[in-house]
């Protein structure tokens, strides 16, 4: 049995490591392009970018670990079945449960590792990443500008830019929300951002546009003013020092979430998002075990040794699983079902279906 166990584990981990590398690389590609843009076009230091890259990996692994485990087990048992090795092993009196038990134990171990990563490593890495972004913004405000998104972080202004090339941009909208009043809007055809040497003062120079200015007779109303050049200045360092970085819900550990639940409950506020995050951490962790359990009989039924077939089956199955998982989260946040039911239901369904399929395959 030791020889068989080592053989199964060797085959599994060979495919698992390959799958981790492939899926992690695929998820990293888009982020690598964005990080490279920070260095090449926005002059951000390579050390800061490397920090952002390293802090991104734990979050990606929370996705690649379960899908890599699923792919590896399908490839392993697909090859065993396709080459007739599984038939020979079972003909010698060794049942499917004994053959699979090493991988089921691996699935349990993966679940504990995943929980530690989802609860401790990934949230802290995400929070540290936001601190690095803040440091980048203080040293290089131009790096905070991103086209096609609403940019917050320049005081009480919200900026939207359609096209950015280095420090120059085209088609810009600047909104200044005012509590109880109409939002002030500045629109310009083009512009540029300049940092005054030796200071943290940022100057936004806008060209050819309109600005809504308060009326001298009625401060609550605005009138439009056309301009050829319009200058705005913001002290980024002063603004960011005043802005305290607080942890988002997904950046909290389970213990921190439980404390937050007590605090929010005392204020008679909705605790649903906090409970959803707790159950999400738990269920994303046990996904590896559930998917391995389902992957064993699916790999046997596939009876294919080609890696492309195994990758295709695993991607399709994980897409269904992830869609159900996101659907459960959405229903929980909307109050359609209890968080523990909505978030845990996909794992429960896949576990029951995988167990039934496993038992049926074992009896054949």
DSSP string, 91-135: HTT--HHHHHHHHHHHHHHHHHHHHHIIIIIHHHHHHHHHHHHHH
Place of tokens 């962790």: 285
Beta bridge partners of 211: 186, 225
Q: How confident is the model at residue 210 (pLDDT cuts 50, 70, 90)?
A: confident
pTM metric for this prediction: 0.74
pLDDT score for 82: 76
The answer, yes or no, to whether residue 240 has pLDDT greater than 60, is no
Give tens-digit pLDDT for 105-164.
Answer: 999 999 999 999 999 999 988 888 877 766 666 566 656 666 776 776 666 777 888 887
pLDDT score for 309: 73
Burial-class residue 113 by CB neighbours within 10 Å (0-12, 13-18, 19+): middle
**Distance (Å, rounded) from C-alpha 210 to C-alpha 222?**
12
Cα–Cα separations (whole angstroms), residue 231 to 194, 205, 226, 255 = 11, 5, 13, 47
- Contact call for residues 20 and 68 (beta carbons, < 8 A): yes
**Distance (Å, rounded) from C-alpha 291 to C-alpha 351?**
8
The answer, yes or no, to whether residue 180 has pLDDT greater than 70, is no
In this prediction, residues 299-324 reach a mean pLDDT of 80
Angle of helix 2-40 relative to helix 307-333, nearest 10 degrees, comes to: 70
**Distance (Å, rounded) from C-alpha 144 to C-alpha 246?**
19
Most confident residue range from 12-26, 123-137, 186-200, 303-317: 12-26
In this prediction, residues 263-271 reach a mean pLDDT of 80
More confident residue, 282 or 271: 282
Mean pLDDT lowest for which of 6-10, 178-182, 192-196?
Answer: 178-182
Which tokens is 310 given? 């195994």
Phi and psi for 286 in degrees, rounded to 5?
-85, 0
Mean pLDDT estimate for the chain: 81
pLDDT score for 116: 94
Torsion sign, CA atoms 121, 127, 131, 137: positive
Place of tokens 């990080």: 35
More confident residue, 213 or 79: 79
Most confident residue range from 131-140, 176-185, 195-204, 340-349: 340-349
More confident residue, 318 or 311: 318
Total residue length of the chain: 364
Mean pLDDT lowest for which of 51-55, 252-256, 258-262?
Answer: 51-55
Q: Which residues, at least 6 apart from 134, have a Cβ–Cβ distance to it below 8 Å?
A: 240, 243, 245
Mean pLDDT lowest for which of 121-135, 304-318, 349-363?
Answer: 304-318
pLDDT score for 244: 60
- Contact call for residues 114 and 63 (beta carbons, < 8 A): no
Burial-class residue 224 by CB neighbours within 10 Å (0-12, 13-18, 19+): exposed
Q: How confident is the model at residue 321 (pLDDT cuts 50, 70, 90)?
A: very high
The 3-state DSSP class for residue 105 equals helix
**Distance (Å, rounded) from C-alpha 210 to C-alpha 218?**
19
The 3-state DSSP class for residue 224 equals strand
Percentage of the residues of the chain whose pLDDT score is greater than 70 = 79
């Amino acid at each position: 049995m030791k020889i068989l166990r080592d053989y199964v584990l060797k085959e599994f981990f060979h495919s698992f490591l390959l799958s981790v590398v492939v899926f992690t690389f695929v998820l990293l590609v888009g982020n690598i392009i964005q990080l490279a843009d920070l260095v090449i076009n926005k002059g951000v230091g390579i050390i800061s970018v490397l920090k952002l890259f390293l802090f991104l990996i734990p979050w990606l692994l929370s996705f690649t670990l379960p899908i890599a485990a699923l792919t590896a087990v399908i490839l392993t048992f697909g090859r065993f079945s396709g080459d007739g090795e599984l038939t020979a092993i079972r003909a010698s009196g060794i049942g499917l449960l004994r053959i699979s038990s090493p991988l089921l134990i691996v699935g349990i171990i993966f679940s504990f590792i995943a929980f530690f990563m989802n609860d401790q490593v990934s949230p802290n890495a995400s929070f540290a990443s936001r601190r690095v972004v803040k440091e980048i913004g203080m040293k290089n405000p131009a790096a905070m500008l991103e086209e096609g998104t609403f940019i917050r972080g320049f005081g009480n202004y919200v900026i939207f830019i359609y096209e950015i090339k280095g420090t120059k941009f085209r088609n810009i909208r600047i909104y200044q929300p005012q509590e109880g009043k109409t939002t002030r809007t500045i629109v310009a055809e083009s512009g540029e951002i300049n940092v005054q040497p030796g200071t943290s003062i940022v100057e936004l120079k806008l060209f050819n546009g309109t600005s809504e200015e308060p009326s001298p007779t009625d401060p609550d109303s605005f009138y439009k003013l056309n301009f050829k050049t319009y200058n705005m200045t913001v002290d980024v360092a002063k603004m960011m020092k005043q802005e305290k970085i607080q942890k988002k819900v997904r950046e909290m550990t389970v213990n921190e979430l439980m404390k937050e639940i007590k605090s929010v409950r005392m204020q008679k506020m909705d605790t649903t998002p906090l409970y959803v995050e707790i159950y999400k951490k738990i269920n994303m962790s046990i996904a590896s075990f559930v998917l391995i359990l389902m992957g064993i009989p699916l790999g046997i039924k596939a009876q294919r040794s080609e890696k492309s077939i195994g990758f295709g089956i695993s991607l399709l199955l994980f897409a269904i699983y992830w869609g159900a998982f996101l659907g459960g989260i959405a229903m929980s946040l909307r109050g359609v079902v209890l968080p523990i039911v909505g978030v845990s239901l996909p794992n429960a369904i896949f576990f029951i279906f995988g167990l039934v399929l496993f038992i049926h395959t074992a009896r054949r």
